[in-house]
Amino acid sequence: MNLFDYTRPASVEAAIAAWVPGAAWLGGGTNLVDLMKTGAMQPGKLIDVTRLPGLDRIETLPDGSTRIGAMVRNADLAHDAGFARAFPMVAEALLSGASGQLRNAATVGGNLMQRTRCAYFADPHSACNRRTPGAGCDARGGDTGGMAVLGWSPACIATNPSDFCVALAALEATVEVQGTGGKREIAFADFHRLPGDTPEIETALQPGELILALRLPAEAAQFAANSRYLKLRERTSYAFALVSAAAALRLDGGRIVAARLALGAVAAKPWRVASAEALLVGQAPEPALFARAAAEAVAGAAPSGENAHKIELARRIAVRALTAAAQGTPDRMPALPASVFGEPAHV
């Protein structure tokens, strides 16, 4: 690990003033400290934002939206009874990620900023355009089983590993940020970026901007009765997704009146396809319909290596998540969150 300065400012304003090029915000540290150990990240300064006042709250705003402070810990958000009741799919996504220990430390703001788990990114001895612009990409032609099948570019085939972000994308969260230029809001769809020719630019954050909070709009809670996050992984727990899907439906009189569908681990950002959602609206929730929507959601997918199987897995997990959502959100969080092997949702 490189040498760095450590500072813990007492206010958001002081934190923003403390930022210098090469500095990094320190939240739970579960991803950043790990990458500093490999040498993949070498910040000259860590600005500890975990104790900044006001960033650890979950609150309902007058417009009915839910505001989640960036320093709320993953475990605390997932287990907040009111939050989990309103947004069970988000809670399930959170609880399907990492371990009990890591969820106790990791922050929701940090989750948005977590880096790809591409092994070539984490290994400073491998060429990686995302880590070192122009260096090349050792992932291509390497171990590509987990790499992107949508939205990738010749420069980078890495995926975003977050579960939480898939559910947030489906529910159209917004991200509140503050920098030296003041506060602004970023729509979730615009927050993470596809690699193109500049994979090193991963998010819409400007240098020195800090995430203050996430907001879920009031209408996002209208999906509470019919929403699921499902995830395929190489072991039943404590593993990143091979593919995942967040599916949320609003049903009325046997018809779907609103639908959300986002795929995870298939691209450098949560993958949401408006035309797939549009196919669902106005229809009765049936297997053939879900198959059509899932096919639409992976339209344009192409293997970035030996990973064509992920396209089929993504299509299937989308069908499974839509089916589970239609059956109804489980009354209690499944013993194995997001698992396709858990108890059926509707029992």
Partner 1 sequence: MSLSISLTVNGAVRDVTLNDARVTLLDLLRERLALPGTKKGCDRGQCGACTVLIDGRRINACLTLAATLDGAEVTTIEGLACGDMLHPVQAAFIDHDGFQCGYCTPGQIMSAVGLIAEGRAGTDPERIREGMSGNLCRCSAYHGITEAVLDATTRIAAEKARKSA
Residues in binding contact with partner 1, number by CB under 8 A = 31
Helices 287-297, 309-327: axis angle to 10 degrees equals: 140
Nearest approach, Cβ of 79 to partner 1 (angstroms)?
7
Give exposure, 215-230, as e/b (b: 16+ Cβ within 10 Å).
bbbeebbbbbebbbbb
Nearer to partner 1, 153 or 339 (CB): 339
User: 122-152 in b/e burial notation, b at 16+ Cβ within 10 A?
Assistant: beeebbbbbbeeeeebbbbebebebbbbbbb
Is 238 one of the binding residues for partner 1 (CB under 8 A)?
yes
Q: Is 34 in the site for partner 1 (CB under 8 A)?
A: yes
Q: Does 139 bind partner 1 (CB under 8 A)?
A: no
For residue 251, the surrounding DSSP H or E stretch is: strand 243-252
Q: What is the DSSP letter of 221?
A: G
- Per CB under 8 A, 100 contacts partner 1: yes
Q: Which is nearer to partner 1, 62 or 341 (CB)?
A: 341
Q: What's the DSSP call for residue 6?
A: E
Task: Verify binding: residue 292, partner 1, rule CB under 8 A.
Answer: no
Q: Are 166 and 232 contacting, i.e. CB atoms less than 8 angstroms apart? A: no
- Min separation Cβ 177 and partner 1, Å: 23
d(CA 246, CA 54): 30
- Whose CA is closest to 232, among 166, 140, 141, 292? 166
Residue 251: CB minimum distance to partner 1, A: 29
Q: Is 295 helix (H, G, I), strand (E, B) or coil?
A: helix
Near partner 1 by CB under 8 A: residue from 105, 127, 258, 291 = 105
The verdict on 26 binding partner 1 (CB under 8 A) reads: yes
79 part of the interface to partner 1, by CB under 8 A: yes
Comparing CB distances to partner 1, the nearer of 154 and 238 is 238
50 binds partner 1 (CB under 8 A): yes
Q: Which is nearer to partner 1, 63 or 235 (CB)?
A: 235
> Smaller CB distance to partner 1: residue 132 or 339?
339
Q: Residue 104, interface with partner 1 (CB under 8 A)?
A: yes
Among 42, 43, 48, 327, binds partner 1 (CB under 8 A): 48
Cβ 87 vs Cβ 224: under 8 Å: yes
Could you list the residues that contact partner 1 (CB under 8 A)?
1, 3-6, 8, 26, 28-30, 33-34, 37, 46, 48, 50, 75, 79, 98-102, 104-105, 236-238, 335-337
